Amino acid sequence: MHKTRINRLKLTKYILSLLILIGIGQAGESQFGLVNNSLGNIQLPYSSSGLASSYEVAKSDSVQLNFRNFATWTNISRTTFSWNLGYNGYLGKNKTEKYYFDNANFAGVFLAIPLQPRKLILGVGLQPFTSVEQRLENKSKQIGEDISENIYINGGISKANINLVYKPIENYSFGIGYEFTFGKLTENVLFNIDDNLGSSVSLKSESQVAGNGIILSFFGTPVENFNFGIVVRPTVLGQITRSAESTSDFLNKERVLEMEIPAEYNLGLEYSFNPTYSLGMDLVWQDWKNGYKIDNKKVGNHELFYHLGFGLERKGSSRKFVKYIQQIDLRLGGFYNQLSTYNDLDRNKVNEVGITAGISLPIQRFKSKIDFAGFISKRGNLSKNFLEETIVGFSFSISANELWFVNLVD
Amino acid sequence: MFIKISSFIVILMLYSCSNVEPNSAPNPLYGKEGRYGNFVQDTIYAQADSVIRGKFLNTSLTAKLSLGEFDGLKAGFEITYNIFKDTALVVDSVYLKFNTANSFGPNANETVTAMMYQIIDSIDTDSINIKDIWRNPTEGAFLSEINAVQFNLADSAQTSVKLPNDVFEKWSENNDKNFGLYFSPLEEDVVLEINSRNSSFTPVLFYYTHINDSVVIDTIFTRRDATVFNYDDQNGQALNFSPNQIIVSSGIGSRVLIKFDFSTVPKNAIIFSADLVLTDDDTNPYENPDNSTSFLLRAIEEVAADEDDFVYNPTRTFSLRSDEGFTSILGTHKSDFATTVVQGIKNGVLTNKWFELEFINSIESLSVKRFLGAKADKTQSPKVIIKYLNAQN
């Protein structure tokens, strides 16, 4: 009893300490992604398992759903629901000051139903694609007046998809899916004109995105202990609807423009040295420089996006009667990114490098597990970019497995 | 361990969700100038102008009474005192006291002479200054000449005019015969303004009687007073103007209509300031120093043969003020004019034919203001200076 009370006190102090520590933060998003017509910072939604090891495209699991490669779902035998939630903190600095943001985020939610266990799987899901939150200021002199400009940009794009994956022969699975890309980006700008009359101009512009695309996924084990996966999202064709709120009715009129989001290519490899240790890598690339178009014209100010991740996984024991700590999976990884938007003041690219780690805790009672991941990364460099950020993130994924839609007789 | 790690992440998420305000210290906008467009200042010159003479209006509520004649402009005033008694009075003397508010004109020296008349016939009080009988009142049969009087021209000076006792005694005996007095100027090139019953220094009538050896003074205030304005169209010069000029006048009300074409302003302009600027013609001698700097501007949607049928849209007015040779829209009215009128015209929600300019006070006193018009040199013609964001979305 005494020990329980002490533990409760410790937990209370622990929670209070966290609240004080994070009290200095404010809600926000990475400050990169600001170029004209940008859809925001590209999000790469990984499950916590994938995030911890920095690779997932070629990773197969019979309990958790893979967030990157749907073709791996043919390993599940029960209806599985997986979701991921997380927290990111951004410690940033520009050429004049430092700041701290944080936000809650999620990497996706999926439901997979085995129409034929371990053979034919139907899945639906929702994942983030881009996000942006920028607050900026500028001062200029125009028409003989000092003008201050305050801008607030926020929003993001998400993807909702439905996939059908099939394993026609042992060791090889294929998936095909439909994906709807949607979202909204808003820019609020207020100009204050220093003309002793309190003049100001307010403009709010909004861009709504809607696009259709398909997902093609593949997962294979051509030789024992070696997996590879491919996921391709061809060019998304859609529309961007622009409108505004201002005193100009002409500017406020809604305009619908054709839009293309570049194709995304994912390649993953995993090699298991033994039942315990595996090594893997992911490569994701998307040519925003040439493939992102609005009204059939390249948008400009965008770059090739790529993500290179590699990691190591140590699987815990699958035996039931060992110590719990021996059942825990451990993961370690690292990644290197090139962002899709660059600092167009001097046209320097923006890169990010980070390390990741995490664990999986089995929940025997539910034949499931919960994954935890954490990472730290550095995005940008003040020597060549207008910002740099140190990002610290934590996340967890949970899967629930139920015997829905499974013929128990079978 | 599961609980600790999960609660750690959930607490972080919940806290970040509870604070949704973005960074209060915004990042500098490096190299992003012009992301939403650039600011532009544009000048739109008047296409055409026109001067219209207004109708004669009722002047019984003005704060001043005018008396004078200047290059065809003429003003006299009517005044009636509130004599309630209906019994005959024998008075020792009767004086009318007036306070001077202002005077101007090349002949404005120390005094101005006027003829005092008794109004001997009933008049429709609502018709003062409006009906045709007031156009040449001294030639009418309803006035009986009393005598010439002099008024002091110095600002705030008092003038005391002796009223014949018999006039006052007849009014007191029969109040129904009290139709008032009329004063008409006898000198030219001078205009006097007196405080009326609607001001703080109302005209007063004092009459003196006595009881035994004691002098008794009683005071009577005015019941009605009003100025009668006239203009000699055939011989007068004050309201003449050359083709490159426009005039605004009060007393004899004249208004200016000016036309502008805003089609050169881009459709996506977000207009935040618009200023109508007129160049004053400083050769004009007819400016009343007390009424020469304040004007009203309105936007006309439709004109008509009768000025009462003009359609104004919007119905609100914008103030203009003269300063250092220019007349322009006052202060924050520039923003209202921009967003309400000019932006409305660009948005197509307002149909604008003309802009109308007149004195803020067009019935209280005589005054003429001349400006350079649409036919004058471009640098001096009426213009609207517009400031806007040439927006990109």
In tens digits, what is the pLDDT along chain B, a chain of 393 residues? Answer: 556 666 666 666 665 555 455 455 566 655 556 788 999 999 999 999 999 999 999 999 999 999 999 999 999 999 999 886 656 778 899 999 999 999 999 999 999 999 999 999 887 878 889 998 898 888 888 899 999 999 999 999 999 999 999 999 989 888 888 999 999 999 999 999 999 999 999 999 999 988 888 888 999 999 999 999 999 999 999 999 999 999 999 999 999 999 999 999 999 999 999 999 999 998 888 889 888 999 999 999 999 988 889 999 999 999 999 999 999 999 889 999 999 999 999 999 999 889 999 999 988 899 999 999 999 999 999 999 999 999 986
Taking alpha carbons only, the member of A153, A147, A130 closest to residue A195 is: A147
**Cis upstream peptide for A128 (omega within 30°):** no
Q: What is the C-alpha separation between B382 and A350, in angstroms, rounded?
A: 54
Tens digit of pLDDT for each residue in A374-391? 999 999 988 888 788 999
Q: What is the C-alpha separation between A237 and A261, in angstroms, rounded?
A: 7
CA B301 to mean position of chain CA atoms: 22
A99 to chain B: which residues are within 8 Å by CB?
23, 25
**Is B9's CB within 8 Å of A96's CB?**
no
**Residue B14: closest CA among chain A residues belongs to which residue?**
A104
Measured in angstroms, the CA of A365 and the nearest CA of chain B are apart by 14
Among left, alpha and beta (phi > 0; psi -120 to 50; other), residue B189 is left
- Yes or no: say if A309 and A281 are a contact pair by the CB < 8 Å rule: yes
- Yes or no: say if B11 and A15 are a contact pair by the CB < 8 Å rule: yes
Q: Which amino acid is at A374?
A: G
Q: What is the C-alpha separation between B196 and A142, in angstroms, rounded?
A: 51
Specify which residues A321 forms β-bridges with: none
Count Cβ atoms below 10 Å from residue B196 Cβ, excluding itself: 28
- Yes or no: say if B206 and B94 are a contact pair by the CB < 8 Å rule: yes
Query: Which of B25, B268, B389 lies at the smallest CB-CB distance from A191?
Result: B389
Alpha-carbon Rg for chain A in angstroms: 24
Interface test with B, best of A105, A250, A328 (most B CBs within 10 A): A250
pLDDT at residue A253 is higher than 70: yes
**Residue B90 sits at the chain A interface (C-beta within 8 Å):** no
Q: What are the E-state strand segments in A170-235?
A: 172-193, 200-223, 226-233
Q: What is the C-alpha separation between A393 and B16, in angstroms, rounded?
A: 12
Query: Which of A94, A198, A247 lies at the smallest CB-CB distance from B28?
Result: A94
Query: Which of A15, A134, A197 lies at the smallest CB-CB distance from B11?
Result: A15
pLDDT score for A22: 43
Interface test with A, best of B2, B20, B36, B350 (most A CBs within 10 A): B36
Q: What is the C-alpha separation between B36 and A187, in angstroms, rounded?
A: 10
Stated pTM of the model: 0.84
pLDDT bucket at A187, cuts 50 / 70 / 90: very high
- For the purposes of burial, counting CB atoms within 10 Å of the CB of A236, is it exposed (0-12), middle (13-18) or buried (19 or more)? buried
Q: Residues with Cβ < 8 Å from B225, sequence gap 6 or more?
A: B60, B65, B77, B78, B79, B80, B196, B197, B203
Dihedral through CA B28, CA B31, CA B36, CA B42, nearest 10? 110
Q: Which residue has the tokens 């550095």?
A: A378
Count Cβ atoms below 10 Å from residue A161 Cβ, excluding itself: 21
pLDDT at residue A9 is higher than 60: no
3-state DSSP assignment of residue B17: helix
Specify which residues B296 forms β-bridges with: B319, B358
CA B206 to mean position of chain CA atoms: 33
Alpha-carbon dihedral sign for residues A315, A319, A325, A326: negative
- Yes or no: say if B260 and B376 are a contact pair by the CB < 8 Å rule: no
pLDDT score for A129: 93
> What DSSP letter does each residue of B195-251 carry, written as one string?
E-TTSSS--EEEEEEEETTEEEEEEEEEEEEEEEEEE-TTT--TT---TTEEEEEET
Q: Which amino acid is at A292?
A: Y
Q: Which amino acid is at B34?
A: G
Q: Which of 345-374 (B) contact A at CB < 8 A?
A: 346-349
Give the residue with greater pLDDT, A190 vs B12. A190
pLDDT score for B350: 93
Tens digit of pLDDT for each residue in A32-68? 777 778 898 888 889 999 999 999 999 987 678 999 9
Taking alpha carbons only, the member of B199, B211, B109 closest to residue B154 is: B109
Report ipTM (2 d.p.). Answer: 0.82
For chain A, first and last CA: distance in Å?
50
**Cα angle: A13, vertex A17, A19; to 5 degrees:** 120
| Listed range (A249-253, A328-332, B26-30, B233-237) with the worst mean pLDDT | B26-30
Dihedral through CA B164, CA B170, CA B171, CA B172, nearest 10? 110
- Yes or no: say if A58 and A50 are a contact pair by the CB < 8 Å rule: no
Q: What is the C-alpha separation between B159 and B192, in angstroms, rounded?
A: 12
**Residue A241: closest CA among chain B residues belongs to which residue?**
B393
pLDDT score for A117: 86
> What DSSP letter does each residue of B178-199 carry, written as one string?
---EEEEE-SSSEEEEEE-TTS
**Residue A397: closest CA among chain B residues belongs to which residue?**
B6
Query: Which of A31, A102, A138 lies at the smallest CB-CB distance from B32?
Result: A138
Alpha-carbon dihedral sign for residues A337, A310, A219, A398: negative
Tens digit of pLDDT for each residue in A199-220? 999 999 999 999 999 999 999 9
A135 to chain B: which residues are within 8 Å by CB?
22-23, 26-27
Measured in angstroms, the CA of A307 and the nearest CA of chain B are apart by 25
User: Which DSSP symbol is given to B347?
Assistant: H
Q: Are strands A120-142 and B27-28 parallel, antiparallel or unpaired?
A: parallel
Interface test with A, best of B267, B340, B389, B392 (most A CBs within 10 A): B389
3-state DSSP assignment of residue A24: helix
Q: What is the C-alpha separation between B343 and B270, in angstroms, rounded?
A: 7
What mean pLDDT is predicted for residues A60-88? 88
Query: Which of A11, A104, A187 lies at the smallest CB-CB distance from B17?
Result: A104
Tens digit of pLDDT for each residue in A342-371? 765 667 888 999 999 999 988 766 567 789
Specify which residues A337 forms β-bridges with: A307, A352
Q: Which amino acid is at B189?
A: D
- Tokens representing residue A83 in the block: 């979701």
pLDDT bucket at A266, cuts 50 / 70 / 90: very high
The count of C-alpha atoms lying within 13 angstroms of the C-alpha of A240, restricted to the half-sphere facing its C-beta, is 25
Q: Which amino acid is at A386?
A: F
Taking alpha carbons only, the member of B343, B303, B336 closest to residue B317 is: B336
pLDDT at residue A394 is higher than 70: yes
pLDDT bucket at A69, cuts 50 / 70 / 90: very high
Alpha-carbon Rg for chain B in angstroms: 30
What mean pLDDT is predicted for residues A97-107? 80
pLDDT score for A368: 72
The count of C-alpha atoms lying within 13 angstroms of the C-alpha of A270, restricted to the half-sphere facing its C-beta, is 30
Measured in angstroms, the CA of A187 and the nearest CA of chain B are apart by 10
pLDDT score for A20: 43
- Yes or no: say if A380 and A353 are a contact pair by the CB < 8 Å rule: no
pLDDT score for A383: 85
Count Cβ atoms below 10 Å from residue A156 Cβ, excluding itself: 21
For chain B, first and last CA: distance in Å?
52
Tell me the average pLDDT of chain A.
87
3-state DSSP assignment of residue B156: coil
Alpha-carbon dihedral sign for residues B364, B370, B373, B379: negative
Q: Residues with Cβ < 8 Å from A69, sequence gap 6 or more?
A: A56, A57, A58, A59, A175, A217, A219, A229, A230, A231, A266, A268
Total count of residues recorded for chain A: 410
Q: What is the C-alpha separation between A145 and A155, in angstroms, rounded?
A: 32
Give the residue with greater pLDDT, A100 vs B255. B255
Q: Which amino acid is at A388?
A: E
**Residue B27 sits at the chain A interface (C-beta within 8 Å):** yes
- For the purposes of burial, counting CB atoms within 10 Å of the CB of B172, is it exposed (0-12), middle (13-18) or buried (19 or more)? buried
pLDDT score for B133: 87
pLDDT score for A100: 81
pLDDT score for B14: 60
